[in-house]
Structure 1
Amino acid sequence: MSARDEVLANIRRSLGVKGNETIRRQIAMERLERAPKGIIPERGQVSGEERLALFRRQAEAALATMTEVSSADEVPQIVATFLRDHNLPATLRMGQDQRLTGMPWGETSLEVSQGPSQGGDINAVSHAFGGVAETGSLVMVSGPENPSTLNFLPDNHIIVVSAKDIAGDYETVWNKVRFAFGKGSMPRTVNWITGPSRSGDIEQTLLLGAHGPRRVHVVVVRD
């Protein structure tokens, strides 16, 4: 028996079930098929400039920083400026996302490399699937386009998101993920990033970069 089978067997034993009960399986399949919505807070039910302003407020409250640009072509220079202003190396790792690779990085002095991080990268840039205004969160889907390692290993993570992809609430983004990938071929992971990694476990002292990047900078493209 594998470790996975053992864990599931222990869960079934504690619940007093075998896992093949017809009614229980029907209930589970119906829930997966319908994907019922959870509670949707009123805070995010705004649109247009008000939604973008809410996203900024929430992102900055979570200790992220944010810049808005009018076109994707402006992103490389914004990234270069961010790294320079924080006295960071002019190096950058990204995945294979064509929205990123198609940007004019050659107009900067940045040294850009592609592929997953092995843990030695200081800076990374990714493109978010979307954003959520109610919490200022970025939604990252895994894959070679935007490797999940870039969400956790580099000290500084720059995340690009299109303004049109910023929704008011979580449920709207989950619907977009299901529509884009299909329930039978969902991405391996969907990471929700709200500001830099932080922990206050030791004497309630806030520590940035505890389990991931110590800086998260969001670039919103308003095209």
Structure 2
Amino acid sequence: MSARDEILANIRRSLGVSGKETIRRQIATERLERAPRGLVPARGQVSGEQRLALFKLQAEAALATVTEVETSADVPQSVAAFLRDHNLPATLRMGRDLRLTAMPWGETSLDISHGPSEGGDLNAVSHAFGGVAETGTLVLVSGSENPSTLNFLPDNHIVVVSAKDIAGDYETVWNKVRFAFGKGGMPRTVNWITGPSRSGDIEQTMLLGAHGPRRLHVVVVKE
């Protein structure tokens, strides 16, 4: 028995149930299927260029930097320019996302490595599942395509997101995640990232990179 099964078994024992009661299962199923829609702020209810402009405004307000490129083929040169402009080494770790690996990285001088980070990488690039305009948030799902370690361990995290995948609000993105993966097939982790890591715990002084990347750079692909 796994630790999870043991915990659930203890809870059922304390409630005096087995977990197989038909009525209890029906009630739980109905509650999940009829869950009320969350409150959706009006701020994100814009479309087209207005939505993209709002995303950029909110992301930059959260101390991220944002660059727009016309096509996915422009991403490698944009990433190389970001690293060069910040005097960072020309190294980059990424997962196995086919959208990233199909880009012409060979046209740059970047040294590309693949797979999860073990903590020694300064720079990483991921491809977001989507974005949320109302808060400038990026949504990344875990897996070998975009390992979650890349979200937290490198000092500089570059995230590519397609403009068409930027929604106005959180509820819309959650619906897209559910539709893409289906019931019982959700990713292990869905990370919602707004700006670089920060903390004001010590003397209420803002410190970047406290629990993750000190820089978050977003490349929006407009095609």
TM-score, normalised to structure 2, is 0.92
Q: Are 2:211 and 1:222 equivalent residues in the alignment? A: no
Cα displacement (A) at 1:67: 0.2
Name 1:151's counterpart in structure 2.
151
Find the residue that maps to 1:184 and give its secondary structure. Answer: coil
The alignment of Structure 1 onto Structure 2 pairs a total of residues equal to 222
Measured against aligned partners, the alpha-carbon deviations of 1:100-135 in whole angstroms (never above 9, x if no partner) come to 001111111100011111111100000000000011
- Structure-2 change in CA distance of 1:19 and 1:41 (3 Å): farther
Q: Which structure 2 residue ranges, 5 or more long, are not aligned?
A: none
Instruction: State how 1:1-223 maps to structure 2 within 5 Å.
Output: 3-4=3-4, 7-8=7-8, 18=17, 20=19, 23-223=23-223
- Structure-2 change in CA distance of 1:207 and 1:183 (3 Å): same
1:175 and 1:71 mapped to 2: Cα distance?
Answer: 26
Cα displacement (A) at 1:24: 4.5
- Structure-2 change in CA distance of 1:43 and 1:202 (3 Å): same
2:88 and 2:181 mapped to 1: Cα distance?
Answer: 36
Calculate the aligned-residue CA RMSD, in Å: 1.9
TM-score, normalised to structure 1, is 0.92
Find the residue that maps to 1:93 and give its secondary structure. Answer: strand
Cα displacement (A) at 1:3: 4.6
Measured against aligned partners, the alpha-carbon deviations of 1:26-81 in whole angstroms (never above 9, x if no partner) come to 33212333454211111101101111111011101111000000011111011011
2:203 and 2:131 mapped to 1: Cα distance?
Answer: 32
- Structure-2 change in CA distance of 1:164 and 1:9 (3 Å): same
Q: Counterpart of 2:25 in structure 1: which amino acid?
A: R
Q: Percent identity?
A: 82
- Structure-2 change in CA distance of 1:103 and 1:35 (3 Å): farther
- Structure-2 change in CA distance of 1:130 and 1:10 (3 Å): same
